[in-house]
Amino acid sequence: MSAAGSLAELVVGHPAGADGYVRLDVDADVWTALAQGCAAGAHDLSALWADGGLDGGWMRMALCCEGLRAIVSLRTEAGAYPSVAAHHAPAMRLERAMRDLYGVRPAGLPDSRPWLDHGRWPGRQSDARYEFLTAEGEGLHQIAVGPVHAGIIEPGHFRFTANGETVVRLEERLGYVHKGVEGLLAGADISRGAAIVGRISGDSTVAYAWAFARAVEAALGWTVPQRAALLRGIMAELERLAHHINDVGAICNDASVLTINARCTLQREDVLAVVAACFGHRLMMDRIVPGGVAADLTADGAGRIRGLLARLEETRAEVLRVYDSMPSLQDRTITTGIASPALVRQYAAGGFVGRASGRVFDARKNFPYAPYDQLPFDLKTRTTSDVDARLLVRMDEIVESLKIVGLMLDRLAPGDIRNDGPAPAAGEGAALVEAFRGDVFMSVRIAADGRLAHVHARDASWFQWPLLEAAVEGNIVADFPLCNKSFNCSYSGHDL
């Protein structure tokens, strides 16, 4: 590989900003070499977005490798730039999305179809038919599912091509819940920005609010009291615990084991009730704000949370015992929906999807941020890459999260929970936060008047949705719900 494609060599002599990211302007050749570096596995593609409009705008790419993070920027020429996906497939949907939203033109992008633009936006209506990819062979039939699904879940379209019971190809079509988030954020003040970002994917509201807060704080040199950092960590782990235990139940429910699901949903409700009593909102929306947190832990909060931790451990252990004792359930999960380790590495898939396929990555560990930089905990991985592995990684992570919350409560000392903001100033900041389903990347550019000039949020789902298509291949149609639930990708977080 050429030297230009090596991130480590490129950033030599360029110090990282307060957020840990090295920022570099590059030319088209270096841009393409870095894209090839992604494809060669030299570094991971973390995000790719357009910023600054068509005239004199930028394409920006966040890259990371061992201990190193960078955001490289390429000035577009009247909106055109060399496609990253032409070399590195994981950039495909990112580039299609940016083309739809901003009109940028990735030269050489192999897929000419729109992605978020369904031909329904005012002034841009189109009746052009969306052409799904083809599958050839005898006896194939198609099954079209969605956007409105049978259960209480978000909308998206799945196009299965099947041979009898076996899925030959699955293609996703997403974008149904596109709400124009980046457009709303441009020009918003910081507090309105925090409220919007906290609703990009409601199930990860704590993680998103935290990522946004950290990016804004880095951009403005805004410090956070120690108590607030610990409270943020406690909230984030409680969010993770609620989803992990709930989704274990949901996976079992899709294999018709309703008793485990009932127990798990009961445990989730216990978490949310404690959270509501401690922080005043069941999902902890709007609790993390730039500069600190908006709600202090109530006086009896620490005791409530410790009681919850004990009950959660009891539930986890019991659910695991029952899961292990049911061969008929494991028959549905073991060897089902394998996400190949090679694809997981290529897509740099985060969260339990990555860790169940041997990818040792967790933003809390790889790019530690307060308070995780001071806490001992283990990163749990598995290698069998199937539904079972994804379920068990989450069970393992529950143990670690319980430990982390306990440690954070031990260290919680009285003090301020929010620092006042500095004077409005221009700045840039980025952050990577580990949400329950994987790393959320957030980049913020603030204008001189203190308003948000541009915000880009990249959900972990961007690099997990494509792997679901691959993981389902060769499985029976009836196992799709199990596979899908074991990924539990966000629609809203992806559709923006």
Partner 1 sequence: MRSFLIDALLKGKATIAPPVAGTAALEEVTRALGERARQRLGRSLSIREIDAGSCNGCELEIHALNNPVYDVERFGLKFVASPRHADVLLVTGPVTWNMREALLRTYNAAPEPKWVVALGDCAANCGVFAGSSAVVGPLADILPVDLHVPGCPPAPIEIVKGLLALIEARPPAP
* Residue (118 or 394) nearer to partner 1, CB: 118
360 binds partner 1 (CB under 8 A): no
Label residues 322-348 b or e (16+ Cβ within 10 Å = b).
ebeebeebbebbeebbbbebebbbbbb
* Residue (21 or 49) nearer to partner 1, CB: 49
Stretch that binds partner 1, among 317-325, 375-383, 386-394, 442-450 (CB under 8 A): 317-325
* 23-52 residues near partner 1, rule: CB under 8 A: none
* Residue (23 or 199) nearer to partner 1, CB: 199
* Residue (282 or 403) nearer to partner 1, CB: 282
C-alpha 286/C-alpha 222 separation (Å) is: 18
Q: Which of 195, 302, 379, 470 binds partner 1 (CB under 8 A)?
A: 195
* Residue (26 or 496) nearer to partner 1, CB: 496
First to last CA, the chain: 35
Distances (CA, A) of 54 to 59, 77, 105, 420, 426: 10, 8, 9, 36, 21
* Residue (200 or 295) nearer to partner 1, CB: 200
Nearest Cα neighbor of 344 from 333, 356, 354 is 354
Question: Least distance to partner 1 from the beta carbon of 262, Å?
Answer: 6
C-alpha 250/C-alpha 267 separation (Å) is: 12
414 binds partner 1 (CB under 8 A): no
* 67-126 residues near partner 1, rule: CB under 8 A: 116, 118, 120-122
Question: 85 with 111: CB under 8 angstroms?
Answer: yes
Read off the amino acid at residue 92. Answer: M
DSSP state of 11: T
Question: Least distance to partner 1 from the beta carbon of 464, Å?
Answer: 15
Q: Is 17 left (phi over 0), alpha (psi -120 to 50) or beta?
A: beta
Question: Least distance to partner 1 from the beta carbon of 139, Å?
Answer: 28
Q: Which of 30, 272, 398, 442 binds partner 1 (CB under 8 A)?
A: 272
484 binds partner 1 (CB under 8 A): no
Label residues 26-35 b or e (16+ Cβ within 10 Å = b).
beeebbbbbb
Question: Least distance to partner 1 from the beta carbon of 176, Å?
Answer: 5
Question: Least distance to partner 1 from the beta carbon of 309, Å?
Answer: 18
Q: Which long-range contacts (CB under 8 A, 24 or more apart) does 215-218 make?
A: 215/19, 215/429, 215/430, 215/431, 215/442, 215/443, 215/444, 216/190, 216/290, 216/429, 216/444, 216/446, 217/290, 217/291, 217/429, 218/17, 218/18, 218/19, 218/427, 218/429, 218/430, 218/431
DSSP state of 131: P
C-alpha 465/C-alpha 13 separation (Å) is: 37
Question: Least distance to partner 1 from the beta carbon of 272, Å?
Answer: 7
# binding residues, partner 1 (CB under 8 A): 53
DSSP 371-439: TGGG---PPP--SS-SHHHHHHHHHHHHHHHHHHHHHHHHH--S--SBPPPPPP--EEEEEEEEETTEE
Question: Least distance to partner 1 from the beta carbon of 493, Å?
Answer: 8
Please count the CA atoms within 13 angstroms of the CA of 483 that sit on its side-chain side: 26
Question: Least distance to partner 1 from the beta carbon of 193, Å?
Answer: 10
Question: Least distance to partner 1 from the beta carbon of 433, Å?
Answer: 17
212 binds partner 1 (CB under 8 A): no
* Residue (14 or 120) nearer to partner 1, CB: 120
Question: Least distance to partner 1 from the beta carbon of 321, Å?
Answer: 7
* Residue (263 or 364) nearer to partner 1, CB: 263
285 binds partner 1 (CB under 8 A): yes
SS3 for 309-366, per residue?
HHHHHHHHHHHHHHHHCCHHHHHHHCCCCCCCHHHHHHHCCCHHHHHCCCCCCCHHHH
Q: Which of 77, 318, 410, 473 binds partner 1 (CB under 8 A)?
A: 318
268 binds partner 1 (CB under 8 A): yes
Q: Which of 302, 322, 370, 379 binds partner 1 (CB under 8 A)?
A: 322
491 binds partner 1 (CB under 8 A): yes
Output the CA torsion 272→278→284→289 (10° steps): -170
Tell me the per-residue interface mask from 150 to 189 with partner 1, x by CB under 8 A, - otherwise.
xxxxxx-------------------xxxxxxx-xx-----
Question: Least distance to partner 1 from the beta carbon of 142, Å?
Answer: 18
326 binds partner 1 (CB under 8 A): yes
Q: Which of 17, 52, 202, 368 binds partner 1 (CB under 8 A)?
A: 202
Binding interface with partner 1 (CB under 8 A): 116, 118, 120-122, 147-148, 150-155, 175-181, 183-184, 192, 195-196, 199-203, 205, 259-260, 262-263, 265-266, 268-269, 272, 276, 282-283, 285, 318, 321-322, 325-326, 490-492, 495
